[in-house]
Amino acid sequence: MQDAKAAADASGVENGVPESDKPAQMETDIKVEAPKKKDRVMEETKDKKNAVEAYVYDMRNKLSDKYHEFVTDPEREGFTAKLQETEDWLYEDGEDETKGVYIAKLEELKKEGDPIEERYKEYTERGSVIDQLAYCINSYREAAVSSDLKFDHIDMAEKQKVLNECVEAEAWLRERKQHQDSLPKHATPALLSADVRKKAETLDRFCRPIMTKPKPKPAKPATPETPATPPPQGSEQQQQGGEDANADPNANGGAHETAGAASGEVPPASGEAMETDTSETASGGAV
């Protein structure tokens, strides 16, 4: 009974809060979080409004300065008027709008401003990327026709493939550049920097494995057969000494000493026994 009651009491408590107090706790949490959420929304709304205002000031200055050649006169006048209209709206009807309204207003302005910025960006970057592609073409072409010994191992057919790719890339660049040079700065670019980079990467990916192919390793010389090693001279002398010892037992000790000296080895134990017998015989005779 007590266990059942304890289980029932435990089920009525979650995270230290009794079931009866849960609604009150949730209401308290909501009251605490509501101001924080409101402050966050207000801060984000303010940031979006400031972004619209900053864009208006920045774009208006650039239209009369570095973007001047990249927009037609009618386009510049119309866009400038729209920027002024947006600025007036920010301090009048748009003084206290929602975050979504400011986001939509900025996107509306960028629809006209982004193409102008893109034309300016392409103009400033185009020269350097064209130089990079031209350098890539010239480098691989010079390597393919070079008489340098480090390229001698590359087949002529492979070198011709490199030359063909260089010719094709150069023709592509010449045609696109001529078209681009004929356009005014405020026109949509015909030669994009991204396309030039892609062309250079494609050329490099094709030519590099061919022109950096490693030279084959030289063949190893044949190893001459090693002649059989003749037996050491000392062994022959030792063998001959053994034969002499069999022929003359009294000369056995001398033969062993001679063989040991010749071969650089320690004499066998039988030679020491013979010396001991000799010494005992001598001492008996003395007595």
Residue 75 in any domain: the answer is yes
* Cα distances (angstroms) measured from residue 17 to each of 2, 10, 27, 225: 22, 10, 13, 94
Element (H, E) at 14: strand 13-14
Say if residue 199's pLDDT is above 80.
Answer: yes
Q: If DSSP codes are grouped into helix, strand and coil, which group holds residue 42? A: helix
Contact 204, 232 (CB under 8 A): no
Domain count, the chain: 3
Give CA–CA dist 66/62, Å, rounded.
6
Q: Which two tokens stand for residue 248?
A: 């003359």
Give CA–CA dist 76/70, Å, rounded.
9
Q: What is the pLDDT of residue 22?
A: 59
Residue 61 in any domain: the answer is yes
**Do 85 and 146 reside in the same domain of the chain?**
no
Domain end point (choices 118, 146, 169): 118
Say if residue 150's pLDDT is above 60.
Answer: yes
Say if residue 252's pLDDT is above 50.
Answer: no
What average pLDDT score do residues 129-143 get?
A: 97
**Do 186 and 261 reside in the same domain of the chain?**
no
- Band (15; pLDDT cuts 50, 70, 90): low
CATH, residue 155: 1.20.1270
Residue 47 in any domain: the answer is yes
What pTM does this model have?
Answer: 0.63
What average pLDDT score do residues 198-212 get?
A: 97
What average pLDDT score do residues 133-142 get?
A: 97
Say if residue 236's pLDDT is above 60.
Answer: no
Question: CB pairs under 8 A, 24+ apart, for 140-147?
Answer: 140/165, 140/166, 140/203, 140/207, 140/211, 141/166, 143/211, 144/211
Phi, psi of 49 (to 5 degrees): -65, -40
What average pLDDT score do residues 253-261 get?
A: 42
Domain end point (choices 88, 118, 148): 118
Q: What is the pLDDT of residue 221?
A: 73
Q: What is the pLDDT of residue 72?
A: 96
The model's pLDDT over 70-114, given as tens digits with 9 standing for 90+, comes to 999 999 999 999 999 999 999 999 889 999 999 999 999 999 999
Q: What is the pLDDT of residue 259?
A: 40
Give CA–CA dist 117/185, Å, rounded.
12
Name every residue whose Cβ is closer than 8 Å to that of residue 95 and which is 6 or more positions away in sequence: none
Give CA–CA dist 137/140, Å, rounded.
6
Structural domain that includes position 154: 124-211
Residue 275 or 51, more confident? 51
**Do 181 and 241 reside in the same domain of the chain?**
no
Q: Which two tokens stand for residue 261?
A: 């000296």
Q: What is the pLDDT of residue 25?
A: 61
What average pLDDT score do residues 170-188 get?
A: 97
Beta bridge partners of 18: 13
Residue whose C-alpha is closest to residue 269's, from 278, 280, 260: 260
Q: What is the pLDDT of residue 218?
A: 80
Q: What is the DSSP string of 126-158?
A: HHHHHHHHHHHHHHHHHHHH---GGGTTS-HHH
Q: What is the pLDDT of residue 217?
A: 85
Q: Which two tokens stand for residue 266?
A: 């320690």
What average pLDDT does the chain have? 79
Q: Which two tokens stand for residue 232?
A: 């050491």
Element (H, E) at 17: strand 17-18
Give CA–CA dist 165/101, Å, rounded.
53
Q: What is the pLDDT of residue 270?
A: 40
**Do 136 and 79 reside in the same domain of the chain?**
no
Say if residue 24's pLDDT is above 90.
Answer: no
Give CA–CA dist 204/167, Å, rounded.
14
Residue 18 in any domain: the answer is no
